[in-house]
Structure 1
Amino acid sequence: MFIPLYDGVALRFMKHPNATYVILGLNVLMYLLVASGLLGNENRIDVVLGMIPAVVFGSAKIDPSIALVPGVLTFFTGIFLHSGFFHLLGNMLFLWVFGDNVEDAMGSLRFTIFYLVCGIAGALLFALVRQNSQSPLIGASGAISGVVVAYLMLYPRVHVFGLAFAWLPISIAALYVILAWITLQIGSALFSSDPEVGWWAHVGGIATGALLTPLLKRPEVPLFGTRTA
């Protein structure tokens, strides 16, 4: 297990990664609104705004009296919900460390599109794999997975500072730590029986991020560049 904390890569094309800040703020705001009860019962919010494969594919239904959005829109709304503080913290930490440089390489508008498409594609793959599941899929993990693989494709030689095994300070090239992370996501999707983790959403985000990064990056930003800081 590796917890990224800092990469030390300065922005080249913008002063502030405003899209990253806005996305992070929206996730935190939604978490606070749900946790405080201002949006109603937390479990109910997960059901009506989280993506439920069985509802999307028509084998189950949400009571119309509590439905807030059409089922297809939950591919979007579910990206901004989290199941608890540590779920939120983990995703936002990855966004904080990796998102600013990916946004810098793409520009704020293209990065926002990239983030949302990766999140939606991740949820779609999860839904296709588990079409009869009646558990809501929530969380930004699919979108974050796209951001992480984009970082790998843009800055593989940059050293990321963080905690190995959650306690050991270490600096390691993004290439190694992210490849290990990707391997874990794919392996878990194929072999894990834990229904509480949307591994296939992570895989969908990874695949979509890999496809979109060459298309959305700035022309002057190379793929697999030699930049180290």
Structure 2
Amino acid sequence: MIPLRDNIPSSRTPIITVGLIVINVLVYLNQLTLPPRAAVRFVYLYGLIPFEITEGQLLIQHPVPLYGTILTSMFVHGGLFHLAGNMLYLWIFGDNVEDRLGRFRFLLFYLLSGLAAAAAQILSDPHSQIPMVGASGAISGVLGAYLLLYPHARVVTLVFFGWFVRVIEIRALIVLGFWIVVQLASGLLTWGAQVGGVAWFAHVGGFVAGLVMVIPLRRRAEGPDWAGRLS
């Protein structure tokens, strides 16, 4: 399933969401200017390497403090589809969560979700020497928050049935519930495999962090949102 849009309008311009997308795109455009070997080195320089965090030994001299790679890794992507998929999810679901939290709290929430995602991935594979990059851990937190705030929102979704493709409206509870089940199952099935690929437990950790943090960070002036119950 690929979400295309939801039915919950934003009450104001999602400046932080747009800003995060712009930064991610600009960083990726910079990556494209690099020769192949330099592009790989860029990922190692700014990616998060679990082994370095757990062992305190550097595999490469980073241009930022070691723990700073937790932040920089959130803005580096491994390819166009990696970037496009992450930004699509952030664009669809980020604006509404930003609405409910407020701009400053949303930015804090986003970064903390990324931190939780990094911690989950490190715990799942503490000796991995493969760099972890991408915004998906932080965005997973946004998805967890959206699920809690707008479970009955309608999400226009591209659904594949073998060779057939349909565009249908599905409740956010189903779309995001299916998504997190896939992440958890994939993580458990590939746990311990020392190969590059998707940081499944980063997604799970970010999602859980989003569920936990969104209610305390939500603006107190606003009550429960029932707009998502539209049929």
With structure 1 as the length reference, what TM-score do the two structures score? 0.91
Change (3 A) 1:163 1:177: same
Superposed, 1:1-229 pairs within 5 Å as 2-12=1-11, 15-37=12-34, 41-58=38-55, 60-64=57-61, 67-165=62-160, 167-192=165-190, 195=195, 196-223=197-224, 225=226, 227-228=228-229
Q: Structure 2 counterpart of 1:215, which letter?
A: P
How far apart are residue 192 of structure 1 and its match? 2.5
Could you tell me how far apart the structure 1 residues matched to 2:66 and 2:139 are? 22
Give the secondary-structure state (helix, strand or coil) at the position aligned to 1:133: coil
How far apart are residue 90 of structure 1 and its match? 0.3
**Unpaired segments ≥5 residues, structure 2:** none
Which string of whole-angstrom CA distances, capped at 9 and with x for unpartnered residues, describes residues 52-89 of structure 1? 0111122642343xx21121111110000100000000
Give the secondary-structure state (helix, strand or coil) at the position aligned to 1:6: strand
Which string of whole-angstrom CA distances, capped at 9 and with x for unpartnered residues, describes residues 138-173 of structure 1? 001111110011111011111000201293211011
Change (3 A) 1:96 1:61: same
Give the secondary-structure state (helix, strand or coil) at the position aligned to 2:93: helix
Question: Considering only aligned residues, what root-mean-square deviation do their CA atoms show, in Å?
Answer: 2.0
Give the secondary-structure state (helix, strand or coil) at the position aligned to 2:55: coil
How far apart are residue 42 of structure 1 and its match? 0.9
Give the secondary-structure state (helix, strand or coil) at the position aligned to 1:16: coil
With structure 2 as the length reference, what TM-score do the two structures score? 0.91
Q: Which moved more, 1:100-109 or 1:123-132?
A: 123-132
Could you tell me how far apart the structure 2 residues matched to 1:135 and 1:108 are? 33
8 Å CA contact retained: 2:153, 2:172: yes
Identity %: 40
Give the secondary-structure state (helix, strand or coil) at the position aligned to 1:162: strand
Give the secondary-structure state (helix, strand or coil) at the position aligned to 1:227: helix
